A and B are shown apart, each in its own frame.
Chain A
Amino acid sequence: MKTILMGFKLGVVKGFRYRGNVYSWVLADFSLYATLFLSYFLLFNQSETIGGYSLLQFQIYLSTYTIINNLFAVFFGEAISSYCQSIIDGTMYQHLLIPKQQYFSHVVLNFNVLPLISTPLLVIYNIILITQLAVPFRFILLYVIAIICATITMNMVFLTISTFIFLGWRVEGIQSIMVQLFSIAEKPETFFPSALRSIFVYIIPAFLFSAVPAKILIEAAITQQTLWLFITPILFIVIYRLFKQKALKKYQFEG
């Protein structure tokens, strides 16, 4: 806990070092959310439901996606870049000597506190929407756990991809393809054919970041998908560890 707190303090110092950087984050974050929500507000002006979702339900859908994205940016976004860089430039062997988990040290040293500026607003907005839905408390609890699981899954997907660097691959391309594929999560999943929907739930877990957790609140959850949402972080952790163990045996770096 003390280490995490220290890491957070370091993140605050690093984040607020340049005022220009702070303004850039705030500007980029708020424009992203404003543009996304505004576009759908305008579209809902033309129709009462879109893809079977009412405006309120779709706001839940979008706010879930934005919160998960935001949490990922705070805790894991920079850690993954730093981890990839450490494999490439060989500094990974220093991290291997640390008594804590190797990736954990990257996370602690690379908290990005600037996206946190918009987190309270997103959470408050989400809470206002939830109160309008009047959902039983057990669903809200399940929803919160689902958001945590989805954030971890997003992190584990990118972390698993980063292990391909051990094989000498350039992973930036694969990561950017994954980002493009994940952008499907901001669109109503009901528009997509069921086969494609299943692919984006069970293979490329994009809808685990929007539709599946949002459906818990809308009380339209599909048990199989919800269970999958809770299993995926564990599954990806296992896959990542297996990949890493094999890859580390081949890893060679001359300082």
Chain B
Amino acid sequence: MFELQLFHMMRLKFFRYRSRFLMAYFNQLLIPIIINGIFVLGLSETIANYDSMQLIAYVILSNLLFFISMENIENTIAYDIKESRLVYKILAPKSTLRQYFFQGIAKKLVQIIYVYLPAYVLMALFAMQPMFSVSLYAIVFTGISIIIGYCLSAIIGFLSFWLTEIWGLSAVKSLVLLMLSGAYFPLRFLPDVVYHALLLTPFPYISYIPASIILDGSVQNDFRLLVIALGWCVVLWTIKVVLWERGLKHFQGNLI
């Protein structure tokens, strides 16, 4: 099966260098969680006075969700367009968009199985209790966060049909998502007006809202959030497809 083969390929790529495995633990888990954890606890003392255990759980969870949903498929897409490798992908019997989507999902799955899940089990063992209770609602929001992350990344990638460089946009995306998704600090620390305005954008649905749903059951009753999140999924997915179709008409591959 195509999806399974992709997963197997991504797993082989991930384990090609042992150091990559170790670095993933340091770069995506240990360092950001420790640094952000201390920072958020400090902020909480100054601004909001939240329960510290709850905040630590939030930092761990929001960072995990952030790295799970952060997608960097734009670099692959840009490379394919610039180097005309896209021609081979278009000629393949599988839909190109499907190839990109499942490539991203397979990469995420490898990271979840080999990095995030063991880390979660270790943390739960250390805390001697399951740290988060996962509901169906939380799973739906995690899925939404992955789709939003993928769509934003693919949209930037498809802009390569018209732009010579997309790394600037890619850098902006990473920064804006880090700050506004809630992985840097809980968005509740912001003034009310800013917080409510942010809820209308797709950013909090990447990390803050799924983490809050898992940690705080009260958020689960707010179906308005689900409607906004699903709305953003539809909008971003449509933009992605439109850009792809228009970009293909613009694309001139040179294989020589």
Footprint of B on A, CB under 8 Å?
A: 18-21, 23-28, 31-32, 35-36, 39, 42-43, 45-47, 49-51, 170, 173, 176-177, 180-181, 183-184, 187-188, 190-193, 196
18 pairs, CB–CB < 8 Å, chain A vs chain B:
A18-B164, A19-B164, A24-B166, A24-B167, A27-B171, A31-B172, A31-B176, A35-B176, A39-B184, A43-B43, A46-B48, A47-B47, A51-B46, A180-B31, A187-B35, A191-B41, A191-B42, A193-B38
The size class of the interface chain B forms with chain A is 35 or more
A170-B19, A191-B42 known; 18 new pairs, CB 8 Å cut-off, are: A18-B164, A18-B165, A19-B164, A20-B164, A23-B168, A27-B171, A28-B171, A32-B171, A32-B175, A42-B190, A43-B43, A50-B43, A51-B42, A180-B31, A180-B35, A181-B31, A181-B35, A183-B35
- Report the bound CA distance from A180 to B20 in whole Å: 15
List chain B residues, Cβ under 8 A from A31. 171-172, 175-176
Which 4 A-B pairs rank lowest in CB-CB distance, beginning with the nearest? A24-B168, A191-B42, A20-B164, A20-B165
- Please name the residue on chain A nearest to B41 by beta carbon: A191
Query: What's the dominant secondary structure at chain A's contact region?
Result: helix
- Report the bound CA distance from A102 to B46 in whole Å: 49
CB pair B189–A25 under 8 Å, yes or no, is no
Whether A176 touches B23, Cβ cut-off 8 Å, given contacts A19-B164, A31-B175, A46-B190, is yes
Footprint of A on B, CB under 8 Å?
A: 17, 19-20, 22-23, 26-27, 31-32, 35, 38-39, 41-43, 46-48, 163-169, 171-172, 175-176, 179, 184-185, 189-191, 194
List chain A residues, Cβ under 8 A from B169. 24, 27
- Report the bound CA distance from A180 to B194 in whole Å: 28
List chain A residues, Cβ under 8 A from B189. 43, 46
Q: State the Cβ distance, B106 to closest chain A Cβ, in Å.
A: 22
- Please name the residue on chain B nearest to A51 by beta carbon: B42
List chain A residues, Cβ under 8 A from B184. 39
CB pair A173–B179 under 8 Å, yes or no, is no
CB pair B42–A27 under 8 Å, yes or no, is no
Whether A177 touches B176, Cβ cut-off 8 Å, given contacts A170-B17, A183-B35, A190-B42, is no
CB pair A43–B39 under 8 Å, yes or no, is no
- Report the bound CA distance from A125 to B26 in whole Å: 35
CB pair B168–A43 under 8 Å, yes or no, is no
CB pair B43–A180 under 8 Å, yes or no, is no
- Report the bound CA distance from A84 to B34 in whole Å: 30
List chain A residues, Cβ under 8 A from B185. 39, 43
**Taking each of B17, B31, B48, B194, which has the highest tally of chain A beta carbons within 10 Å of its own beta carbon?**
B31
- Report the bound CA distance from A19 to B191 in whole Å: 39
